Amino acid sequence: MFENTLEKADLVFDQQHIWHPYTSMANPLPVFPVASAKGVYIHLEDGTALIDGMSSWWCAIHGYNHPRLNEAIQRQVQQMSHIMFGGLTHTPAIELCRKLVEITPESLQKVFLCDSGSVSVEVAIKMAIQYWHAKGTPEKSKLMTVRKGYHGDTFGAMSVCDPVNGMHQIFNKVLAPQIFIDEPTPGFAQPLQAQDAANLETAFEENHQQVAAFILEPIVQGAGGMRIYSPAFLEKLSALCTQYGVLLIFDEIATGFGRTGKMFATEHTAITPDILCIGKALTGGMMTLAATLCTEDVALTISQGEAGVFMHGPTFMANPLACSVALASIRLLQDSNWQALVQNIETQLKEKLQPLQMHPRVKEVRVMGAIGVVECYHTVNVAAIQRFFIRQGVWIRPFRNLIYIMPPFIIQPDELHTVCQAIGASLYNEGHFD
């Protein structure tokens, strides 16, 4: 008997007692027991090896079980696994934050560590509100954002997610009312569209007196629709933020750490935000850690305000294991030829996925960096298509009408070929689409 092998009773227990993300307990979706994961492969308990197309939702950029990341955790666990951060500090946090200040835009000098992407968004929102409060204009307390965005599942984050996409609608009555404008016109290479510029200008003219910050995902809108848009939109937005006195928050939780071909998506533009949220691939997917970075102006204004302090402090702030492995992951990324790896993935995704555009089920194919998206006309039957992908030896988890991948950067061309083949083949299978 293998130690790792799950009995059938364990799976029944899982289905009866354990809530998986976005699932029903009355009618649970099938779950597949994983024994281990190494490199780009996920090994199921029954011996099936799957090529990972998801990087565990954008995180595992180096693949799984990387010896350098394992070693960082093992080394740190010998020293100290956790210690409160109030009144104490430690080398893992200092070294990580020094690295974050070094690799993010120069204007971002202050780092607030927390434990998940959603919380880093809450922190960013609170920073923006406290900033204007400290400046004596507390009426500037609303957020402005674009439709089709996604920023997490906590209340502040939910309030700036797309208000009609169905993920958080149930909570609309208790969510802080925010200001939404239409999402940017799709297309990375697009010049600024007149309609987009007009939408932005009107929104700023009408609302700037009550708006603390504009928050959005730069260049790629992730879970809200996997849409790619132009740097020109962000440049116009940044100019308006400066003109009207509104802070700019970039949520790079998904796009950060090389995924779009730049270390951060903001580098596709000529501008930088006042506040930046990062998470997910920060630790290479090894531990839960996120951070919110801000400018000197934001930090000092808050600190010199009436409250004198920033009102947030998670228990697991700056967890040393997470900080150590995050630093190791960033160093590993910097030591690798990640730009070339991501570029090669992009080239191959374009070559292999773009022909699917001709398929009658496919509305659009989009590729940027190590992200490939096949948008279908109809919703995908997740359980059926998942079983199909597993039979093809790949791990892809579609969402609504989107079959999308963001593989680990270490994926080899033949492995990526298998993943793309499986996506193509899935389109020909009846019963996979509603």
Does 222 bind ligand PMP (CB under 6 A)? Our answer is yes
DSSP letters of 198-220?
A: HHHHHHHHHHGGGEEEEEE-SSE
Q: How far is the CB of 101 from ligand PMP (least distance, A)?
A: 21
- Tell me which of 41, 64, 112, 150 binds ligand PMP, using CB under 6 A: 150
- Pick 397 or 417: Cβ nearer ligand PMP: 397
- Tell me which of 63, 92, 117, 231 binds ligand PMP, using CB under 6 A: 117
Tokens, residue 259: 């995924």
Residues 6+ apart with CB under 8 A from 142: 176, 177, 178, 179, 207, 210, 211, 212
**x/- string (CB under 6 A) for ligand PMP, residues 58-87?**
------------------------------
Q: How far is the CB of 125 from ligand PMP (least distance, A)?
A: 12
Q: How far is the CB of 118 from ligand PMP (least distance, A)?
A: 3
Asked whether the CA dihedral 56, 72, 345, 162 is positive or negative, the reply is positive
- Pick 217 or 346: Cβ nearer ligand PMP: 217
- Pick 251 or 415: Cβ nearer ligand PMP: 251
Pick the piece of the chain touching ligand PMP (CB under 6 A) from 98-106, 249-257, 292-300, 404-412.
249-257
Please state, in angstroms and rounded to a whole number, the distance separating the CA atoms of residues 83 and 85: 6
Q: How far is the CB of 221 from ligand PMP (least distance, A)?
A: 8
In single-letter form, the type of residue at position 335 comes to: D
Tell me the residue nearest to ligand PMP as measured from the CB. 117
Secondary structure of residue 32 in the 3-state scheme:
coil
Phi, psi of 122, deg, nearest 5: -55, -45
Q: How far is the CB of 154 from ligand PMP (least distance, A)?
A: 7
Binding residues for pyridoxal 5'-phosphate: 117-118, 251, 314-315
Binding residues for substrate: 57, 150, 280, 313, 397
For tokens 């992009």, name the residue: 346
What is the end-to-end Cα distance of the chain in Å, rounded? 41
**Closest-CA residue to 143 (of 246, 240, 237):** 246
Pick the piece of the chain touching ligand PMP (CB under 6 A) from 47-55, 150-158, 236-244, 297-305.
150-158
- Bridge pairing between strands 247-251 and 211-216: parallel
Instruction: State the CB neighbour count (10 A cutoff) for residue 16.
Output: 9
Pick the piece of the chain touching ligand PMP (CB under 6 A) from 145-153, 238-246, 335-343, 400-408.
145-153
Does 254 bind ligand PMP (CB under 6 A)? Our answer is yes
Tokens, residue 193: 């569209």
Please state, in angstroms and rounded to a whole number, the distance separating the CA atoms of residues 26 and 24: 5
Does 251 bind ligand PMP (CB under 6 A)? Our answer is yes
Q: How far is the CB of 119 from ligand PMP (least distance, A)?
A: 7
Q: How many residues bind ligand PMP (CB under 6 A)?
A: 15
Does 116 bind ligand PMP (CB under 6 A)? Our answer is yes
Bridge partners (DSSP) listed for residue 304: none
Query: Is residue 309 packed enough to be buried (19+ CB in 10 Å), middle (13-18) or exposed (0-12)?
Result: exposed
Q: How far is the CB of 65 from ligand PMP (least distance, A)?
A: 21
In single-letter form, the type of residue at position 418 comes to: T
- Pick 104 or 118: Cβ nearer ligand PMP: 118
Instruction: State the CB neighbour count (10 A cutoff) for residue 84.
Output: 11
For tokens 């033949």, name the residue: 414
By annotation, the residues acting in catalysis are: 22, 150, 251, 280
- Tell me which of 52, 122, 183, 217 binds ligand PMP, using CB under 6 A: 217
- Pick 142 or 151: Cβ nearer ligand PMP: 151
- Tell me which of 53, 63, 92, 152 binds ligand PMP, using CB under 6 A: 152
Does 118 bind ligand PMP (CB under 6 A)? Our answer is yes
DSSP letters of 223-260?
A: TTT-EEB-HHHHHHHHHHHHHHT-EEEEE-TTTTTTTT
Interaction residues for ligand PMP, span 223-242 (CB under 6 A)? 223
Residue 6 near residue 45, CB atoms below 8 Å: yes
Q: How far is the CB of 407 from ligand PMP (least distance, A)?
A: 16
Does 121 bind ligand PMP (CB under 6 A)? Our answer is yes
- Pick 223 or 333: Cβ nearer ligand PMP: 223
- Pick 224 or 356: Cβ nearer ligand PMP: 224
- Tell me which of 279, 285, 407, 408 binds ligand PMP, using CB under 6 A: 279
How many C-alpha atoms does 56 have within 13 Å on its Cβ side? 24
Residues 6+ apart with CB under 8 A from 365: 353, 354, 356, 357, 372, 373, 374, 375
Q: Which residues bind ligand PMP (CB under 6 A)?
A: 57, 116-118, 121, 150-152, 217, 222-223, 251, 253-254, 279
